[in-house]
Structure 1
Amino acid sequence: MLKNVTQPPRRDASLTRDTIIDAAISLLDTAGESGLTFRALAARLATGAGAIYWHIANKDELFTAASDSVVMRAMEAVLPGATPPACIRAVALAVFEAMDAHPWLGSALARAPGQLPTVRILERLGRQVDALGVPAERQWLAACTLLNYLLGVSGQNAANAAIGRANGLDRSHFLDSLSAAWSRLDAQAFPFARKVAGQLRTHDDREDFLAGIDLIVHGLQALQAGR
């Protein structure tokens, strides 16, 4: 008597890990993190979930792989041969723009601390910190300061943009309203907020972000000059 034997899912020869990751990125961009499921991904790829599991073990692995792919492409845009400050600026801007284009990326990096996507960014920053002449015992602190600022501000900017889109907010109108509200705050309790209310209306997120990177780099250079 023949026994029924459960066969393992057959591999779809036309499916590759890169194809799956690219489809996952597209799905994340359009549907967000909650929309990334193996069922939705299988439908997009016109295949079965089993074929995807052959290449990717679970959603966490897929999420990390998608973020790593985006980070790798961002790092490719950073041209070699520039001065260390210019390279640090380029790395920072590449990640900032990647997060702006893929709002889910900040969450992906936060959920996978110490994993390859974040290490790629740290590696690029660390090489430039070394090239700046920062002593070996301070390089970890310097590189991590840059990394934490970069990820934090880029992630917040992407989150703000996503909230604005979800609520149909016009950036200029929103900042005008916020600036007006700040200018009416109590002068004794909020003197600084009142003073910069006008700048809030006209500020540029990208330029503010890069100015912060420059402040950190200039601080590192000043420390080196004062040794």
Structure 2
Amino acid sequence: MAQRTQRTRKSRTDALSRERIVEAAVELLDADGEGGLTFRALTERLATGPGAIYWHVRNKDEMLGAATDAVVAAALDIEPAEPPASPQDEIRAVALGLFDAIDWHPWLATQLATQLSRSPWSSVTPRIIESIGQQVRALGVPKGSWFTASSALMHYILGAAGQNSANGRVLGAGVDRSEFLDSVSTAWEKLDPDDYPFTRAVADQLREHDDREQFLAGIALILTGITTAYPPA
């Protein structure tokens, strides 16, 4: 009888894989944010008991880390180009993968900041820094500057993508982006010309800008700085 109970318990935990639990966690996070991710909600979504989930994941922090890592891994799973792309192209692909992931998953930016600060030894930070750092090395940057150049790219990518995602959340689904930018640009144009000459001068550029194009332009500026400071041998 004991052997049968043990086999039944093992078959249930095998059927409910860690990957399926993490997938369900991502779905809950996308729908309701961090507050919506509870073990009770997971058991309801997966039609199982809490014990089966605790078999794979010990607590909510571990669940959030696993969900973050799964989304980042998918974002960085980039098909190799034919012919092989340049390091600059690879970095742009990594950057856009993370930009889109943060845009699609509103909770991700906060979790990435948490992971980078609290547990940089976990899989998320090395996964990101490796995907960028290999291309920085391929650019011919000297070894003593690998970390600096990679960190500059990583912080820009995560910061700019996170800000873009935050802008979308603040505006909400019912706000027209073009109308909002037009109102901000108009307000900037009315600022005191003596106190805010530059802000007034770029007001029209704010009105017309595209978020993805601006993001990639920032990547291009950083790459230009890196290749200028460390020209290939």
State the TM-score, normalized to the length of structure 2: 0.89
The structure-2 alpha-carbon separation of the partners of 1:47 and 1:210, relative to structure 1 and needing over 3 Å to count, comes to same
Alpha-carbon distance in 2 for matches of 1:79, 1:176: 40
Q: Quick one: which of 196, 203, 207 aligns to 1:201? A: 207
SS in 1 for 2:195: coil
Instruction: Show structure 1 runs of 4+ deviating over 6 A.
Output: none
Distance 2:78 2:108 in 1: 17
Shift of residue 64, structure 1, vs aligned partner: 0.9
Quick check: 123-132 or 106-115, which moved more? Answer: 106-115
Q: 1:84 aligns with which of 75, 82, 87?
A: 87
Give matches, 1:166-205, under 5 Å: 168-205=174-211
Match of residue 224, structure 2, among 204, 218, 222:
218
Cα shift at 1:159: 1.1
CA RMSD of aligned residues (A): 1.6
The equivalent residue for 2:134 is: 127
Structure-1 separation of matches of 2:202 and 2:79: 34
Per-residue CA deviation, residues 76-125 of structure 1 (Å, 9 max, x unaligned), is 13535210011001100000001011111111111111121222111010
- Give the Cα–Cα distance (whole angstroms) in 2 for the partners of residues 225 and 69 of structure 1: 36
Q: Equivalences for 1:1-227 in 2 at 5 Å?
A: 10=9, 12-13=12-13, 14-80=15-81, 81-113=84-116, 114=120, 115-165=122-172, 168-225=174-231
CA contact (8 A) 2:178 2:207 kept: yes
Q: Please give the alpha-carbon distance, in whole angstroms, between the structure 1 residues aligned to 2:219 and 2:94.
A: 10
Corresponding letter in the other structure for 2:100: E
**8 Å contact kept, 1:179–1:198:** yes
What is the TM-score of this pair, normalised by structure 1?
A: 0.92
Query: SS of the counterpart of 2:194?
Result: coil
Whole-angstrom distance in 2 between the partners of 1:77 and 1:172: 32
Instruction: Quote the Cα distance in structure 2 between the aligned partners of 1:143 and 1:189.
Output: 37
Which stretch has the larger CA shift, 91-100 or 39-48? 39-48
Letter in 2 for 1:132: L
CA drift at 1:36: 0.7
Extract unaligned runs of 5+ from structure 2.
1-8
Q: Deviations over 1:29-58 (max 9, x none)?
A: 111111111111111111111211110011
What SS does the aligned partner of 1:55 have?
A: coil
Identity of aligned residues (%): 52
Aligned length: 218
